[in-house]
């Protein structure tokens, strides 16, 4: 009888632990994340936001919409914009650098088969979608500092490379959303 009671207590404890860990904790930067915002590409501001002009803001809007299409939240959207800021200044680049001469597009994705074709990497929506699909493969990405989540997705040399782009990304996402998102 005591054995059965012990097993039942153990089973109850396992169920409580499992139900309590369904969603990983959020990073401090992403604690206030809400549902993704969709952006009308025609409604992109003309003036600069955080130093980024209309072409760059249109690319940021494509990033936001790709995340929204995947059902992600404003944290993921901001990580995507932050990453593209750090990789290309939100421009679709048809060139790489010394570390990745075959890198292309907003996210400077390599020609290694993981990021799709040349056309995929040069298309803002497709390259952003591929970035977000890879981000979702990073274990517990919402609990990581945004720069670490981006680093584990992009696999670049410096895990803190993207940190300086977080506040401008929050500003751009907030401007495109028409309301404040996340904290800075």
Domain boundaries, given as residue ranges, for the chain: 28-177
116-170 per-position pLDDT tens digit = 899 999 999 999 999 999 999 999 999 999 999 999 999 888 999 999 999 999 9
pLDDT of residue 2: 53
84: number of Cβ within 10 Å: 31
Confidence of residue 23 (pLDDT cuts 50, 70, 90): low
Pairwise pLDDT comparison (13 vs 154), residue with the higher score: 154
- Taking the domain 28-177, which CATH number applies? 1.10.530
40-93 per-position pLDDT tens digit = 988 899 889 999 999 999 999 999 999 999 999 999 999 999 999 999 999 999
């Amino acid at each position: 009888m005591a054995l059965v009671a012990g097993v039942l207590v153990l089973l109850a404890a396992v169920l409580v632990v499992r139900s309590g860990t369904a969603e990983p904790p959020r990073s401090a930067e992403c604690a206030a994340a809400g549902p993704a915002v969709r952006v009308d590409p025609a409604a992109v501001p003309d003036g600069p936001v955080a130093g980024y002009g209309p072409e760059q803001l249109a690319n940021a809007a494509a990033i936001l919409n790709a995340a929204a299409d995947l059902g992600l939240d404003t944290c993921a959207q901001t990580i995507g914009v932050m990453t593209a800021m750090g990789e290309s200044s939100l421009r679709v680049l048809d060139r790489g650098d010394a570390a990745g001469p075959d890198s292309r597009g907003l996210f400077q994705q390599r020609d290694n088969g993981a990021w799709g074709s040349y056309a995929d990497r040069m298309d803002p929506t497709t390259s952003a979608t591929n970035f977000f699909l890879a981000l979702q493969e990073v274990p517990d990405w919402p609990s990581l500092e945004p720069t670490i989540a981006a680093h584990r997705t992009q696999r670049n040399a410096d895990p803190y490379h993207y940190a300086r782009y977080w506040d401008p990304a929050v500003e751009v996402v907030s401007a495109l959303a028409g309301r404040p998102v996340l904290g800075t």
